[in-house]
């Protein structure tokens, strides 16, 4: 049915005489309008059904000019009088009821009253023509729009769309128009472009997001949207509004159209509704009644169709571009296998692999793969080809021919890894084998580096004395869940052995409290450092240093503890030993009765213990900084330093009796042991010394020596008398002789002076003996002095020589010409020699008592080498019983009768020689005893 048919149907329904037949205009009364006119063209009366539709009715018998009835533009047709109109087709428009006009066509013919103008309704005919024209126009416009959209460049597309929207809007008087497209990315509708007349309010803007708002519209036909209240009829001569106003259900949709009339045209393609043309403040029914749904749909499809395809084309193009870029960036690309042995590669891939062609044989392609991976790939490819098994494999590229590889692939000669994935898609004839290749060198190399680093770390941990562990937090308790592999070598356990309860069992009973405290501290503070003993599988305990940290989740709740056990057994035991030995040392040093100190080579004390401080009458704290040398005379100090200078790392210890001069106090004697501490270059750093006060011993020794000396003197009294008697005798003889000569008067001067000289010599000799006796009887000097040992021999002989000769003992004294100096007291060495000579004389005399013919002798000799001076005293008295040899140096040991021997001679002598740093020894020679005094030579200068 055409719209014209509709119209007729409607008209017939409204006419008074309903009929389905269309009346013949010339013969049948009167379906149209019959106007009866007089000769002047004035309307007399009218008949026909259409007369009811006219706006203006004729008052009874009041002829009116026909002009008054027609619309102004129709008056032109009615120029002149009816007579002139004969034979013409007259198209006249009459104002109708409401705002409609009636389009009528007719002709005049003479009638009885004058003229009869018969008219029929040609509104539909006109409308149809009008519509046809509109449609043509519409089609032309559509063609033009589509042409524009197809032809323009992508860049100008938005402008062109705007222009087309403007054209449509202006042609059909739309205040606002917009094209809404389904936006794939935003998953909703969006105003693509819009146009608003300059005097229209802006309903929309470009790129306005509409969400799912338009989904509620029925997308098969244009939608008329009425802004009027429901229930109010919207008058119109066209179709009644087919749909209920949608705005009732969709207040937001109503808002979109500004709460006014709206019109929306859908465009559908294979994806469903893809576009809407939105017209605001617009009622298509009123403003463009000539356009039907089809016209609107056509118009929009001309706009949306090409636009969408251009946009999709653009999107596709962009996607392709992005893909290409991505493939190039990632070194990736697709591949597809054709037939049995041909492979087609993405151009990007072919260029990365430096292949000339994108199509190549499967074998040629496999040759690009490293031999180590080639056969695996071949087999998997086969599995894909034959059994559709999806392919996923990582392979290295073959770089045997370095020239084939781009230079950047050769950097550091690292392998180039590719991940290859592929699968079969489709089936039957359309089955294809496609996949991609992705450069994963970075990842793979990273992975290998990581794996290597991991392995190294694992190794390190496994071989280190450290165990890394993890304890999981379960309801306040920490349960071991992991131990590093080093647990085995260190303690000989595995994870099961160290479950929570078992672990406590292995903690040393004395350390369990520490362990519990460690766990509490860890949970409280988040980290802990503790030390406790743990039993290993052999039952030995290890000291472990435990350092742990608590890891928490986002909510701050404990998750697990990660920690480290370090075996510090050796260090701990060593530290304990050091502590103990330090303690012992401290006790030793502090509580020792000995004087202990440490001092630097310049003799400055760095430490001195209480006995030393007590001796020096100060507090121990006052000792550091005091110079040891300040307690000595210059000579003592020089001797002390001389002794220290002999210390070496090989022989670091030296012991000596030192004498000190303490200000305001009597002389002190210390037996002093020094131990030098050296650095790695052999330099003396400090000296540790232990000493004991020997003053008392020294003093009694001196007294002993003195009394022994006095005893010697007493014992020698006879000898001495002889020594003095001898010169007296010589002098007496000389005087007697001189007196005799005087009596005879036979005195010559020469004779006299000769005798007087002899007397003088004898006087001198006696004086010497007496002098020496006085010196010998004196107490020894306190300090030792350097002296020539030959002086002591001479002194001894001056006292004893004459006496020995008087007793018939031959004295053999060697020629001693050397010079040397030893340290000590010359009188004491003399006393030693006297003791030895007197002992020898006693032994000789007692032997001669038994044997009258015995010829006794004593030899006294001296010799020296670089270090020592040796004095020998030998006799021929038969020696000392071998069983007594060891005992003769003991004090009070004597074989002589009571009252004769004291048993002190040799023991005192021994002490004297020892004090001089020397040694007194005895051996039996062939004929008798042989004593030897060894004395160290004092360095000259």
> Any contact of residue 839 with ligand ADP (CB under 6 A)?
yes
The residue count for the chain? 941
Q: Which is nearer to ligand ADP, 50 or 844 (CB)?
A: 844
Q: Which is nearer to ligand ADP, 254 or 839 (CB)?
A: 839
| Gap between the Cα atoms of 593 and 587, Å rounded | 11
User: Any idea what DSSP says for residue 932?
Assistant: E
> Any contact of residue 840 with ligand ADP (CB under 6 A)?
yes
Q: How far is the CB of 919 from ligand ADP (least distance, A)?
A: 17
Element (H, E) at 635: helix 634-644
Binder of ligand ADP out of 285, 647, 906, 916 (CB under 6 A): 906
> Any contact of residue 888 with ligand ADP (CB under 6 A)?
yes
Q: Which is nearer to ligand ADP, 90 or 792 (CB)?
A: 792
Q: How far is the CB of 834 from ligand ADP (least distance, A)?
A: 10
Q: What order do you get walking across the sheet with 466-474 strand by strand?
A: 477-483, 466-474, 558-567, 541-552, 527-535
Half-sphere exposure of 631 (CA within 13 A, CB side): 22
Q: State the Cα angle at 264 between 222 and 217, rounded to 5°.
A: 80
Q: Which is nearer to ligand ADP, 167 or 894 (CB)?
A: 894
Binder of ligand ADP out of 654, 894, 919, 937 (CB under 6 A): 894
Q: How far is the CB of 843 from ligand ADP (least distance, A)?
A: 4
Q: Which is nearer to ligand ADP, 469 or 910 (CB)?
A: 910
Binder of ligand ADP out of 436, 541, 607, 893 (CB under 6 A): 893
* Structural tokens at position 397: 């590229």
> Any contact of residue 880 with ligand ADP (CB under 6 A)?
yes
How many Å separate Cα 868 from the centre of its chain? 71
Q: How far is the CB of 929 from ligand ADP (least distance, A)?
A: 4
* Structural tokens at position 923: 């051996």
Q: State the Cα angle at 595 between 594 and 599, rounded to 5°.
A: 145
> Any contact of residue 854 with ligand ADP (CB under 6 A)?
no
Q: Tell me the window of 126-134, 409-417, 428-436, 886-894 that interacts with ligand ADP (CB under 6 A).
A: 886-894
| Gap between the Cα atoms of 157 and 193, Å rounded | 11
| Gap between the Cα atoms of 234 and 212, Å rounded | 29
Q: Tell me the window of 410-418, 643-651, 832-840, 932-940 that interacts with ligand ADP (CB under 6 A).
A: 832-840
Give the interface size with ligand ADP as a residue count (CB under 6 A).
Answer: 18
Q: Which is nearer to ligand ADP, 47 or 894 (CB)?
A: 894
Task: List all residues 6 or more positions away from 455 whose beta carbon is below 8 Å from its beta carbon.
Answer: none
Task: List all residues 6 or more positions away from 546 whose beta carbon is below 8 Å from its beta carbon.
Answer: 518, 528, 529, 530, 531, 532, 563, 564, 565, 566
Element (H, E) at 813: strand 810-813
| Gap between the Cα atoms of 22 and 125, Å rounded | 14
Q: Which is nearer to ligand ADP, 399 or 848 (CB)?
A: 848
Q: Which is nearer to ligand ADP, 15 or 902 (CB)?
A: 902
> Any contact of residue 875 with ligand ADP (CB under 6 A)?
yes
Q: Which is nearer to ligand ADP, 831 or 835 (CB)?
A: 835
Are 359 and 342 contacting, i.e. CB atoms less than 8 angstroms apart?
A: yes
Q: Tell me the window of 19-27, 244-252, 751-759, 887-895 that interacts with ligand ADP (CB under 6 A).
A: 887-895
Q: Which is nearer to ligand ADP, 49 or 835 (CB)?
A: 835
Q: Which is nearer to ligand ADP, 307 or 837 (CB)?
A: 837
> Any contact of residue 903 with ligand ADP (CB under 6 A)?
yes
Backbone angles phi, psi at 923, to 5 degrees: -150, 155
Q: Which is nearer to ligand ADP, 142 or 860 (CB)?
A: 860
> Any contact of residue 465 with ligand ADP (CB under 6 A)?
no
Task: List all residues 6 or more positions away from 247 whose beta carbon is below 8 Å from its beta carbon.
Answer: 225, 226, 227, 253, 254, 257, 259
Binder of ligand ADP out of 558, 620, 786, 901 (CB under 6 A): 901
Q: Tell me the window of 80-88, 155-163, 499-507, 835-843 that interacts with ligand ADP (CB under 6 A).
A: 835-843
Are 492 and 537 contacting, i.e. CB atoms less than 8 angstroms apart?
A: yes
Q: How far is the CB of 629 from ligand ADP (least distance, A)?
A: 40
Are 933 and 867 contacting, i.e. CB atoms less than 8 angstroms apart?
A: no
Q: Which is nearer to ligand ADP, 601 or 901 (CB)?
A: 901
| Gap between the Cα atoms of 541 and 270, Å rounded | 82
> Any contact of residue 905 with ligand ADP (CB under 6 A)?
yes
Q: Name all contacts of 754-757 with Cβ < 8 Å and 24+ positions apart.
A: none
Binder of ligand ADP out of 216, 728, 896, 914 (CB under 6 A): 896
Task: List all residues 6 or more positions away from 164 whose beta carbon is below 8 Å from its beta carbon.
Answer: 145, 148, 149, 303
* Structural tokens at position 176: 């606002």
Q: How many C-beta atoms surround the C-beta of residue 300 within 10 A?
A: 23
Site for ligand ADP, residues 912 to 931, rule: CB under 6 A: 929
Q: How far is the CB of 605 from ligand ADP (least distance, A)?
A: 43
Q: How far is the CB of 885 from ligand ADP (least distance, A)?
A: 9
Helix axis angle for 695-715 and 749-777, nearest 10°, is 150
Q: How far is the CB of 626 from ligand ADP (least distance, A)?
A: 44
Q: Tell me the window of 91-99, 150-158, 401-409, 897-905 that interacts with ligand ADP (CB under 6 A).
A: 897-905
Nearest residue to the partner ligand ADP, using Cβ = 905
> Any contact of residue 834 with ligand ADP (CB under 6 A)?
no
Q: Which is nearer to ligand ADP, 107 or 893 (CB)?
A: 893
Query: Residues in the site for ligand ADP, rule: CB under 6 A?
Result: 835, 839-840, 843, 875, 877, 880, 888, 893-896, 901-903, 905-906, 929
């Amino acid at each position: 049915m055409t719209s014209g048919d509709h119209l007729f149907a409607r008209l017939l329904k409204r006419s008074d005489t309903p009929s389905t037949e269309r009346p013949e205009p010339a013969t049948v009364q009167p379906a149209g309008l019959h106007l009866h006119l007089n000769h002047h063209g004035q309307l007399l009366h009218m008949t026909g059904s259409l007369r009811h539709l006219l706006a203006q009715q004729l008052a009874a018998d009041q002829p009116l000019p026909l002009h008054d009835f027609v619309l102004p533009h129709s008056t032109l047709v009615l120029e002149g009088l009816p007579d002139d109109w004969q034979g013409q087709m007259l198209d006249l428009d009459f104002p109708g009821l409401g705002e409609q006009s009636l389009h009528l066509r007719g002709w005049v013919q003479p009638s009885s009253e004058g003229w009869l103008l018969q008219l029929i309704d040609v509104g539909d005919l006109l409308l149809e023509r009008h519509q046809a024209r509109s449609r043509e126009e519409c089609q032309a416009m559509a063609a033009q729009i589509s042409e524009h959209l197809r032809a323009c460049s992508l860049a100008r597309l938005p402008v062109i769309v705007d222009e087309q929207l403007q054209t449509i809007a202006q042609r059909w008087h739309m205040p606002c128009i917009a094209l809404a497209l389904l936006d794939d990315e935003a998953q909703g509708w969006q105003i693509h472009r819009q146009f608003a007349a300059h005097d229209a309010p802006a309903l929309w803007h470009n790129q306005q997001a509409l969400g799912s708002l338009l989904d509620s519209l029925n997308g098969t036909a244009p939608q008329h949207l009425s802004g009027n209240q429901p229930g109010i009829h919207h008058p119109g001569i066209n179709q009644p509004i087919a749909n209920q106003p949608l705005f009732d259900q969709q207040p937001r949709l109503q808002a979109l159209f500004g709460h006014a009339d709206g019109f929306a045209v859908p465009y559908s393609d294979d994806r469903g509704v893809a576009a809407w043309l939105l017209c605001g403040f617009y009622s298509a029914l009123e403003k463009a009644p000539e356009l039907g749904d089809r016209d609107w749909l056509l118009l929009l499809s001309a706009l949306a169709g090409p636009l969408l395809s251009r946009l999709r084309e653009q999107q596709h193009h962009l996607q392709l571009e992005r893909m290409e870029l991505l493939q190039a960036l990632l070194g990736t690309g697709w591949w597809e296998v054709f037939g049995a042995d041909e492979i087609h590669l993405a151009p990007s891939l072919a260029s990365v692999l430096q292949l000339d062609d994108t199509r190549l044989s499967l074998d040629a392609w496999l040759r690009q793969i490293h031999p180590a991976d080639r056969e695996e790939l071949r087999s998997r490819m086969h599995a894909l080809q034959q059994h559709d098994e999806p392919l996923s494999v990582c392979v290295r590229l073959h770089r045997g021919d370095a020239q084939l590889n781009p230079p950047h692939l050769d950097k550091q000669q690292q392998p180039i890894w590719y991940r290859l994935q592929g699968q079969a898609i489709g089936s039957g004839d359309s089955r294809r084998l496609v996949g991609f290749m992705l450069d994963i060198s970075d990842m793979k190399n990273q992975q290998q580096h990581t794996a290597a680093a991991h392995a190294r770390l694992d190794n390190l941990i496994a071989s280190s004395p450290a165990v890394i562990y993890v304890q999981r937090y379960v309801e306040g308790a920490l349960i071991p869940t992991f131990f590093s592999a080093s647990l085995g070598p260190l303690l000989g356990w595995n994870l099961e052995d160290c479950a929570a309860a078992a672990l406590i069992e292995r903690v040393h009973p004395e350390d369990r409290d520490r362990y519990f405290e460690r766990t509490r501290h860890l949970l409280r503070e988040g980290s802990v450092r503790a030390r406790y003993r743990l039993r290993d599988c052999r039952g030995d305990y290890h000291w472990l240093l435990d350092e742990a940290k608590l890891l928490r989740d986002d909510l701050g709740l404990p998750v697990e503890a990660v920690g480290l056990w370090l075996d510090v057994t050796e260090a701990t035991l060593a530290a304990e030993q050091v502590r103990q030995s330090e303690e012992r040392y401290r006790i030793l040093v502090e509580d020792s009765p000995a004087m202990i100190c440490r001092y630097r080579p310049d003799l400055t004390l760095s430490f001195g213990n209480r006995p030393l401080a007590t001796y020096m009458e100060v507090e121990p704290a006052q000792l550091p900084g005091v110079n040891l040398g300040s307690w000595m005379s210059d000579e003592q100090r020089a001797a002390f330093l001389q002794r220290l200078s002999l210390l070496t790392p090989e022989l670091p210890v030296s012991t000596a009796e030192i004498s000190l001069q303490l200000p305001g106090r009597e002389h002190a004697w210390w037996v002093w042991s020094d131990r030098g501490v050296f650095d790695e270059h052999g330099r003396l750093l400090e000296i540790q010394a232990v000493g004991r006060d020997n003053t008392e011993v020294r003093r009694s020794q001196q007294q002993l020596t003195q009394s022994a000396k006095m005893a010697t003197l007493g014992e020698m009294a006879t000898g001495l008398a002889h020594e003095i008697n001898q010169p007296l005798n010589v002098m007496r003889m000389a005087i007697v002789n001189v007196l005799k000569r005087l009596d005879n008067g036979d005195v010559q001067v020469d004779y006299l002076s000769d005798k007087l000289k002899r007397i003088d010599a004898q006087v001198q000799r006696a004086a010497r003996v007496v002098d020496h006796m006085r010196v010998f009887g004196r107490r020894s000097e306190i300090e030792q002095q350097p002296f020539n040992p030959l002086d002591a021999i001479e002194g001894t002989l001056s006292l004893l020589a004459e006496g020995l000769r008087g007793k018939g003992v031959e004295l053999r004294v060697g020629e001693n010409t050397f010079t040397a100096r030893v340290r000590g007291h010359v009188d004491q060495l003399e006393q030693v020699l006297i003791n030895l000579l007197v002992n020898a004389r006693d032994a000789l005399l007692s032997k001669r008592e038994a044997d009258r013919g015995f010829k006794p002798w004593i030899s006294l000799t001296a010799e020296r080498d670089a270090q020592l001076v040796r004095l020998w005293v030998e006799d021929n008295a038969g020696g000392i019983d071998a069983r007594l040899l060891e005992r003769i140096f003991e004090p009070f040991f004597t074989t002589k009768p009571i009252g004769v021997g004291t048993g002190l001679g040799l023991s005192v002598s021994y002490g004297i020689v020892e004090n001089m740093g020397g040694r007194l020894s005895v051996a039996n020679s062939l004929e008798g005893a042989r004593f030897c005094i060894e004395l160290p030579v004092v360095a000259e200068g």
